[in-house]
Chains A and B, each alone.
Chain A
């Protein structure tokens, strides 16, 4: 009974209306590594195509210990409603109170759904052809709760939190997306045989939501079997929904299957905000500033952003140009 009061209805994020003469303002966070150069390409392309989008650039210094930079960025995104970002590097040798900037951004803005559409692109040589999988990953809780403590010297505990609300929310997002895009099946990926309470709750929530969508088939699969099936028979998957860490693994496996991190865009949706980036969130330090990074992922992410702002003509134009380029010229990618 009480859950009813706490369960907010799920609303897909509405795009902010255009202001100031029909032009949208979008927050741009360059990040580290290949982020700045790729976002420069996006800006160049938008300028050339006369896309009515202005970028408000906010820099986040990953080396500084204060959280002012990331808070500025979060405030800018609250202001504009939409952002395009590169990955901010996390130095994992820093002490635990220095949290991952990307994670802070996602949790503060409650960007609960990470959507990644893996499609085999024409002109790209891969071992598996014609892959078309949508991966929806819970983006705010699970193993990424950053709640750790050392109870006894030499013993560290890390908490993985699964809540009913968030699981229902992400499952509903998945089924609604599947219905909107005309997809036929949603697969929940879990490890409920071992983590009976945690992933068991996630699976139960998915089943509950599935009963409300009788036109869409629902099944579930254990995560280790999922990765094995992905590398041998990826065509059996349609839409997949999963908690945070498994989402990380599965999305990287799928990105590798369709041709690499430079090809797949990703989107993070919340109730009020949307942030677009590359799907695998790589910093790419080793290839930065050498003009060899593949801009496809970031350019396709900017197309997703344009779709979100309801500027579909521009999005389709840019997308068409990208696919033609990939098909016709031999572009070597990372």
Chain B
């Protein structure tokens, strides 16, 4: 719950005990109380006065999450996820919002203010696929969201799914990609006719931030090592700076092993033996390529979860596949990617019990191979797949 709601509830409770408070700074007027209630009340008063920041993992209350269904198959898979969460009795309250690019004051493109407000309040978002119309005049929606909430880290855990066979069976790694700068800064110039330069920007601040997030993630999720991926032999200054920052941050996290590896060596070893990698942290372009490579190892974008972490505690979890307009509305879509992203979201919020339950149900359904959607090799409908997972979740209780 937001801080103010908590405060007002407490004030009402205190009023019932006979304590009236005109404002937080003044001393409470006590009508008649026992010493025990007095002690409890003064403790509560201290808490109200300090207005301590609410921990996000408020597991006993209902957490609000902004849901952005998206386009194409987005609405159907969002509905599927909501159904599964309901069956699992997860303490999540969904707030649906749509994002389209609108022109704000000053001519800058921005997302609708209701969406932004909802996100700022709830801090957690779940997003379906958004389409980027070509020649619409505005930048891609994903880029807009990234800029609005300063989503600096893109996290993609890639774990082999037991029921979905790929040539690679023992993948269990996480790619953490810097999402704001690097090669995707968009700064390009035509020097003379026929010569183009693109600028790759690496800053100390962004490198330090992503490195810190990577080590925090490794520590919080019990991962043994973090590997920085770079090409400092060729791009000495830029990747050298990135590496230096990673090394500096590694000093503060002695419990996590830190290694560095060239990009080409990582690619080479990844397709031969992906089990040797744990957490990988890297700048934007390498992250884009490697995260998609790892997604390919476990079965493609249809089964890969993804999360974007922003400054100010914002986190948006999303499915990275396309909108699939050809199967939209036909109940054929596969909700696995969005579901696994939602599970990642639950883990981020500290609701590990529900996360494990839903994830196990999903993996069991895929392993059984009885109600798989078309892209997973079966011919069931999305609703049947969802219903099977809901049944399993309910049976687990």
Residues in B with CB closer than 8 Å to A146 are 234-236
Bound complex: CA of A2 vs CA of B192, how far in Å?
Answer: 12
Residue of A92, A98, A162 contacting most chain B CB atoms (<10 Å): A92
CB pair A150–B237 under 8 Å, yes or no, is yes
* Contact among B196, B234, B264, B296 for A249, CB-based, below 8 A: B264
Q: Which of B235-251 contact A (CB under 8 A)?
A: 235-241, 243
CB of B270, distance to nearest CB on chain A (Å): 7
CB pair A143–B199 under 8 Å, yes or no, is no
From known contacts A194-B184, A227-B293, A228-B293, infer whether A158 and B203 are also in contact, taking CB-CB under 8 Å. Answer: no
* Contact among B205, B263, B288 for A154, CB-based, below 8 A: B205
Residues in A with CB closer than 8 Å to B377 are none
Residue on B nearest A194 in the bound complex, by CB: B184
A260 at interface by CB-CB < 8 Å? yes
Query: Residue-by-residue, is B274-288 near A (CB-CB < 8 Å gives 1, otherwise 0)?
Result: 000000000001001
* Contact among A93, A127, A249 for B289, CB-based, below 8 A: A249
CB of B280, distance to nearest CB on chain A (Å): 14
CB pair A157–B168 under 8 Å, yes or no, is no
CB pair B183–A160 under 8 Å, yes or no, is yes
B195 at interface by CB-CB < 8 Å? yes
CB pair B196–A156 under 8 Å, yes or no, is no
Binding-face segment, A179-187, A196-204, A266-274: A196-204
Bound complex: CA of A3 vs CA of B190, how far in Å?
Answer: 15
CB pair B238–A158 under 8 Å, yes or no, is yes
Residues in B with CB closer than 8 Å to A6 are 194
Residue on B nearest A197 in the bound complex, by CB: B188
Residue on A nearest B200 in the bound complex, by CB: A158
CB of B262, distance to nearest CB on chain A (Å): 9
A35 at interface by CB-CB < 8 Å? no
CB pair A160–B194 under 8 Å, yes or no, is no
Residue on B nearest A95 in the bound complex, by CB: B236
Q: Which of B171-210 contact A (CB under 8 A)?
A: 183-184, 186, 188-190, 193-205
Q: Which of B367-384 contact A (CB under 8 A)?
A: none
Bound complex: CA of A103 vs CA of B198, how far in Å?
Answer: 20
B272 at interface by CB-CB < 8 Å? yes
Residues in B with CB closer than 8 Å to A30 are none
CB pair A201–B233 under 8 Å, yes or no, is no
CB of B298, distance to nearest CB on chain A (Å): 10
CB pair A159–B198 under 8 Å, yes or no, is yes
Residues in B with CB closer than 8 Å to A160 are 183, 197-200
* Contact among B198, B233, B243 for A197, CB-based, below 8 A: B198
B75 at interface by CB-CB < 8 Å? no
CB pair A225–B292 under 8 Å, yes or no, is yes
Bound complex: CA of A261 vs CA of B240, how far in Å?
Answer: 25
Bound complex: CA of A231 vs CA of B294, how far in Å?
Answer: 9
Residues in A with CB closer than 8 Å to B199 are 157-160
Bound complex: CA of A227 vs CA of B289, how far in Å?
Answer: 7
Residue on B nearest A127 in the bound complex, by CB: B167
Residues in A with CB closer than 8 Å to B204 are 154-155
CB pair A253–B293 under 8 Å, yes or no, is yes
* Contact among A94, A155, A232 for B296, CB-based, below 8 A: A232
B269 at interface by CB-CB < 8 Å? yes
A128 at interface by CB-CB < 8 Å? yes
* Contact among B196, B238, B267, B269 for A161, CB-based, below 8 A: B196
Bound complex: CA of A143 vs CA of B194, how far in Å?
Answer: 17
Q: Which of A77-95 contact B (CB under 8 A)?
A: 90, 92-95
Q: Which of A162-211 contact B (CB under 8 A)?
A: 162-165, 191, 194-198, 201
B93 at interface by CB-CB < 8 Å? no
Bound complex: CA of A260 vs CA of B195, how far in Å?
Answer: 36
A312 at interface by CB-CB < 8 Å? no
CB of B228, distance to nearest CB on chain A (Å): 12
CB pair B263–A248 under 8 Å, yes or no, is yes
From known contacts A100-B233, A143-B234, infer whether A232 and B196 are also in contact, taking CB-CB under 8 Å. Answer: no
From known contacts A228-B296, A249-B263, infer whether A158 and B237 are also in contact, taking CB-CB under 8 Å. Answer: yes
A309 at interface by CB-CB < 8 Å? no
From known contacts A96-B236, A143-B200, infer whether A161 and B289 are also in contact, taking CB-CB under 8 Å. Answer: no
CB pair A143–B167 under 8 Å, yes or no, is no
CB pair A198–B198 under 8 Å, yes or no, is yes
B18 at interface by CB-CB < 8 Å? no
Bound complex: CA of A228 vs CA of B322, how far in Å?
Answer: 15
CB pair B296–A195 under 8 Å, yes or no, is no
CB pair B233–A260 under 8 Å, yes or no, is no
Residues in B with CB closer than 8 Å to A71 are none
B22 at interface by CB-CB < 8 Å? no
CB of B76, distance to nearest CB on chain A (Å): 24
Bound complex: CA of A76 vs CA of B189, how far in Å?
Answer: 38
CB pair A90–B168 under 8 Å, yes or no, is no
Q: Which of B137-185 contact A (CB under 8 A)?
A: 166-168, 183-184
CB of B284, distance to nearest CB on chain A (Å): 9
Q: Which of B213-242 contact A (CB under 8 A)?
A: 231-241
Residues in B with CB closer than 8 Å to A165 are 194
Q: Which of A132-160 contact B (CB under 8 A)?
A: 143-144, 146, 148-150, 154-160
From known contacts A92-B232, A150-B237, A280-B264, infer whether A231 and B198 are also in contact, taking CB-CB under 8 Å. Answer: no
CB pair A195–B288 under 8 Å, yes or no, is no
Bound complex: CA of A224 vs CA of B234, how far in Å?
Answer: 21
A257 at interface by CB-CB < 8 Å? yes
A223 at interface by CB-CB < 8 Å? yes
Residues in A with CB closer than 8 Å to B196 are 161-163, 197-198, 201
Bound complex: CA of A90 vs CA of B231, how far in Å?
Answer: 11
Bound complex: CA of A195 vs CA of B197, how far in Å?
Answer: 10
Residues in B with CB closer than 8 Å to A256 are 267-272
Bound complex: CA of A153 vs CA of B359, how far in Å?
Answer: 46
CB pair A96–B237 under 8 Å, yes or no, is yes
Contacts from B to A (Cβ < 8 Å): 166-168, 183-184, 186, 188-190, 193-205, 231-241, 243, 263-265, 267-272, 285, 288-293, 295-297, 299-301
9 more A-B contacts (CB under 8 A) besides A229-B296, A245-B231, A245-B285? Answer: A2-B193, A92-B232, A92-B243, A95-B236, A154-B205, A156-B238, A160-B199, A198-B196, A281-B264
22 chain-A/chain-B pairs, Cβ below 8 angstroms: A92-B233, A95-B236, A96-B240, A143-B234, A146-B235, A149-B237, A157-B199, A157-B200, A163-B194, A163-B196, A196-B188, A198-B196, A198-B197, A223-B288, A224-B293, A228-B300, A231-B271, A232-B300, A248-B263, A248-B264, A256-B267, A256-B269
